[in-house]
């Protein structure tokens, strides 16, 4: 009984921690290997196994997600998902096969990207332009063009309008925190702007929410983090019907308030 009570307290503590932060992947989690098809699976896993359970919509896999699985089951999770230590222990003890689902991505798709920034995001925007060009994308720069003080709504609006008018494929806006630009861009019908601070959130905003404008905070991330976030965001697409249905509901709500 004492052992069970201790386990319950540990599980409660883990859930509390997860509600506040994204944990690093456990060192005891199954090792991953990339297959020739571009997806990932546990080492020594059987190819083409039938998926027992699909938890690929989640970014964190807890013990509750794996406890009911039988020995040798196949669990599909998203590419960027993390297993809690207790979940990883169950997976290891029961020999559960982890298959990571990698979204069909646009890594090779060349896009026209509208970029904009206020004075706080100007320097990072210039880095972003070089990065996008290096990836083979076309860049439309809507300013600003110096570190002189300007108002972020002007540039977020310009980028959002370009996206809504379909003169570009997607847009990226940078200000100090990324929040104000997201608020501004989302006032333009047809725009779904997401302020992203990690690769996981960037992927989720595209795959689950169909974001077409990315906003970044120059004071919250480094240039290296910016590159990783942008790379992941551009490489992920909205493909699954269940996510498209939910984005359709977002669009339906938007139409209710248009005059």
**Backbone angles phi and psi of 8, in degrees to 5:** -65, -40
- Measured CA to CA, the distance from residue 232 to residue 251 in angstroms comes to 24
Q: Which helix (H) or strand (E) holds 110?
A: none
From the candidates 119, 137, 208, 243, give the one annotated as an active-site residue: 208
Q: What tokens appear for 253 in the block?
A: 């709500």
User: Taking a C-beta distance cutoff of 8 angstroms, is the pair 127, 154 a contact?
Assistant: no
User: Taking a C-beta distance cutoff of 8 angstroms, is the pair 193, 185 a contact?
Assistant: yes
Is 144 in a helix, a strand, or coil? coil
- The answer to whether 208 is a known catalytic residue is yes
User: Taking a C-beta distance cutoff of 8 angstroms, is the pair 117, 125 a contact?
Assistant: yes
What burial letters (b/e) apply to 248-259, b meaning 16+ CB within 10 Å? eeeeeeeeeeee
User: Taking a C-beta distance cutoff of 8 angstroms, is the pair 203, 80 a contact?
Assistant: yes
Nearest in space to 215 (alpha carbons), one of 133, 136, 114, 132 = 114
Catalytic residues: 208
């Amino acid at each position: 009984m004492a052992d069970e009570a201790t386990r319950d307290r540990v599980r409660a503590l883990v859930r509390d921690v997860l509600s506040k932060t994204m944990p690093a992947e456990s060192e005891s989690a199954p090792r991953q290997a990339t297959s020739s098809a571009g997806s990932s699976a546990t080492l020594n896993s059987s190819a083409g196994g039938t998926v027992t359970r699909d938890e690929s919509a989640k970014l964190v896999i807890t013990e509750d997600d794996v406890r009911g699985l039988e020995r040798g089951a196949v669990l599909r999770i998203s590419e960027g998902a993390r297993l809690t230590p207790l979940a990883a222990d169950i997976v290891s003890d029961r020999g559960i096969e982890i298959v990571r689902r990698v979204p069909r991505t646009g890594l090779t798709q060349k896009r026209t990207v509208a970029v904009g920034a206020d004075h706080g995001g100007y320097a990072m925007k210039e880095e972003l332009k070089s990065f996008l060009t290096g990836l083979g994308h076309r860049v439309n720069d809507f300013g600003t063009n110096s570190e002189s003080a300007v108002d972020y709504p002007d540039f977020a609006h310009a980028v959002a309008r370009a996206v809504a008018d379909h003169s570009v494929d997607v847009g990226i806006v940078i200000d100090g925190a990324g929040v104000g630009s997201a608020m501004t861009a989302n006032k333009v019908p047809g725009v779904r702007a997401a302020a992203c601070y990690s690769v996981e959130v960037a992927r989720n905003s595209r795959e689950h929410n169909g974001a077409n404008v990315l906003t970044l905070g120059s004071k919250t991330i480094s240039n290296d983090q910016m590159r990783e976030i942008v790379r992941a965001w551009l490489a992920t697409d909205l493909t699954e019907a269940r996510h498209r249905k939910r984005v359709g509901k977002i669009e339906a709500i938007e139409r209710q308030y248009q005059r």
